[in-house]
């Protein structure tokens, strides 16, 4: 075995690229012509010779070099590649924010938030801040066991918030998988508890899809005795069937009544952050009935930005609760017909009663769809088809409201 004195006196003979001075067990000191000295351990893996650098002399003395060699041998005996193991450790050491659950969760959120809409980013952060951080914030994420996570999620279930419990579970899974990917956890524990969660079936928005019942609803809406703004919004909601938030936030600047077109900016659509910033606007052709209603409303709200402004503030639109309450007043509670449910109403009857192309319907609903050939459906095309569809739908609602003949579906 080499001594410290021997290491100090070791030299590279003139004319040689390097000199190797053996120590023991495959360990040797490599000396360059310039006088630098480095420790290496020579070993064999899969029949091939490899070597592992163990540091420079004199920073690493002979005793420390032998200990490093022994540690590497032990890793190799356990079936691990010592060189790769050290690379992994270096990568872990480069992780800036630590291995606590809070550190990993916040790092994951910061990484993903740029691609999310602001509302989605807020929801995801709320999922782990409210129900996971109080229990796991300072814990090393790799040490948290599945049973512990299950106990926390069951507390959410016990509040009766089954939908929230599943959202927390989903968020937790994303955080754990990020921890695995960045070397802070060995495995994702969430699959272990999936089967132990209470089942939850997402509720569909209540929607009337029977023609005769829909005719009754349209008649009730037209007889609504409330304010002009709410009455107009109620009449347009089933006719245009857009998402409630996008509909209530309609602005006069988005409307071209002469061209019978409503152009919803991408920023107001339900999309990813990139989709909001770089996506195309959503186009809604306006049937003649919608244009007439909007022209009647224009003298009342046209001086401001919003078509359906609130009573207390003209800078804010009417709330979803305003329309929900109006429907309730008419005898249509949230279990019978919701504002969002007008989308399902239109989707169903446009296909089943009017036999219209599902691709055109989905495009008008602002859904991402694919055509039969796998090409992304271009919402800016086939505007004539969509305009014709919207006019047929408005005429159909008029017919239902008048009690005209409609196709009845057989009960399942």
Out of 219, 367, 392, 399, the active site residue is 367
pLDDT tens profile 366-404: 876 554 444 444 444 678 999 999 999 999 999 999 986
Nearest 5°: the CA angle 49, 16, 43 is 15
Question: For the chain, what is the mean pLDDT?
Answer: 88
Instruction: Catalogue the long-range contacts made by 72-78 (C-beta closer than 8 Å, 24 or more residues apart).
Output: 72/41, 72/43, 73/25, 73/41, 73/43, 76/43, 76/45
Three-class DSSP category at 28: strand
Cα 1 to chain centroid distance, Å, stands at: 60
Three-class DSSP category at 48: strand
Q: Is 282 a catalytic residue?
A: no
Number of residues that this document lists for the chain:
412
What is the maximal distance between C-alpha atoms in the chain?
107
Query: What is the predicted pLDDT for the residue at 25?
Result: 87
Query: What is the predicted pLDDT for the residue at 85?
Result: 75
Query: What is the predicted pLDDT for the residue at 96?
Result: 55
Go through the domains of the chain in sequence order and give each one's CATH number.
4-93 (3.30.160.390), 101-196 (1.10.150.130), 211-401 (1.10.443.10)
Check whether 232 has a pLDDT greater than 80.
yes
Percentage, residues of the chain above pLDDT 70: 91
Out of 243, 248, 347, 379, the active site residue is 243
Q: With contact defined as beta carbons under 8 Å apart, do 343 and 241 qualify?
A: yes
Check whether 173 has a pLDDT greater than 80.
yes
Confidence class for position 359, pLDDT limits 50, 70, 90:
confident
Q: Is 343 a catalytic residue?
A: yes
The DSSP H or E segment spanning 288 is helix 288-301
Q: Is 243 a catalytic residue?
A: yes
Out of 135, 224, 377, 382, the active site residue is 377
Percentage, residues of the chain above pLDDT 90: 62
Out of 343, 347, 379, 386, the active site residue is 343
Across 128-156, average pLDDT: 94
Beta-bridge partner residues of 264: 282
82-96, 187-201, 270-284, 336-350: the lowest-pLDDT one: 82-96
Q: Is 377 a catalytic residue?
A: yes
pTM for the model stands at 0.59
Nearest in space to 42 (alpha carbons), one of 22, 62, 57, 59: 22
74-88, 177-191, 348-362, 367-381: the lowest-pLDDT one: 367-381
Nearest in space to 72 (alpha carbons), one of 86, 92, 60: 86
Q: Is 270 a catalytic residue?
A: yes
Query: What is the predicted pLDDT for the residue at 139?
Result: 92
Pairing mode of beta strands 48-57, 261-264: unpaired
Q: Where are the alpha helices (DSSP H) in 78-194?
A: 82-93, 101-113, 118-131, 133-136, 146-158, 162-181
Across 187-208, average pLDDT: 85
Out of 38, 69, 248, 340, the active site residue is 340
């Amino acid at each position: 075995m080499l001594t410290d004195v021997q290491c100090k006196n070791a030299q590279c003979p003139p004319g040689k690229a390097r000199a190797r001075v053996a120590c023991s067990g495959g360990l040797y000191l490599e000396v360059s012509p310039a006088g630098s000295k480095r420790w290496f351990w020579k070993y064999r893996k899969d029949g091939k010779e490899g070597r592992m650098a163990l540091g420079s002399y004199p920073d690493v003395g002979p005793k420390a070099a032998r200990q490093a060699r022994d540690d590497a041998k032990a890793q190799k005996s356990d079936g691990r590649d010592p060189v790769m193991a050290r690379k992994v450790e270096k990568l872990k050491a480069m992780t800036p924010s630590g291995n606590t659950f809070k550190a990993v969760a916040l790092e994951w959120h910061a990484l993903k938030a740029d691609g999310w809409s602001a509302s989605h980013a807020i929801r995801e952060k709320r999922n782990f801040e409210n129900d996971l951080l109080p229990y796991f914030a300072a814990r090393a994420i790799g040490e948290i066991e599945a049973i512990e996570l299950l106990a926390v999620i069951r507390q959410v279930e016990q509040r009766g918030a089954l939908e929230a419990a599943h959202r927390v579970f989903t968020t937790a899974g994303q955080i754990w998988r990020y921890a695995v990917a960045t070397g802070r956890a060995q495995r994702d524990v969430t699959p272990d508890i999936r089967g132990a969660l209470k089942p939850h079936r997402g509720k569909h928005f209540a929607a009337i899809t029977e023609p005769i019942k829909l005719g009754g609803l349209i008649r009730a809406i037209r007889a609504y005795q409330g304010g002009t703004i709410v009455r107009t919004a109620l009449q347009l909601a089933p006719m245009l069937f857009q998402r409630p938030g996008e509909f209530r936030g309609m602005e006069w600047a988005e409307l071209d009544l002469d061209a019978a077109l409503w152009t919803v900016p991408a920023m107001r659509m339900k999309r990813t952050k990139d989709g909001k910033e770089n996506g195309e606007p959503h186009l809604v052709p306006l049937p003649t009935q919608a244009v007439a209603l909007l022209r009647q409303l224009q003298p009342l709200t046209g001086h401001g930005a919003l078509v359906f402004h609130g009573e207390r503030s003209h800078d804010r639109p009417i709330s979803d609760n305003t329309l929900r309450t109006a429907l309730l007043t008419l005898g249509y509670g949230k279990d019978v017909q919701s504002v969002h449910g007008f989308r399902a109403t239109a989707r169903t009857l446009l296909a089943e009663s009017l036999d219209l192309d599902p691709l055109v319907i989905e495009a008008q609903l602002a859904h991402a769809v694919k055509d039969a050939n796998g090409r992304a459906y271009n919402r800016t095309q086939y505007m004539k088809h969509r305009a014709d569809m919207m006019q047929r739908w408005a005429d159909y609602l008029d017919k239902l409201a008048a009690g005209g003949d409609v196709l009845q579906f057989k009960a399942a």
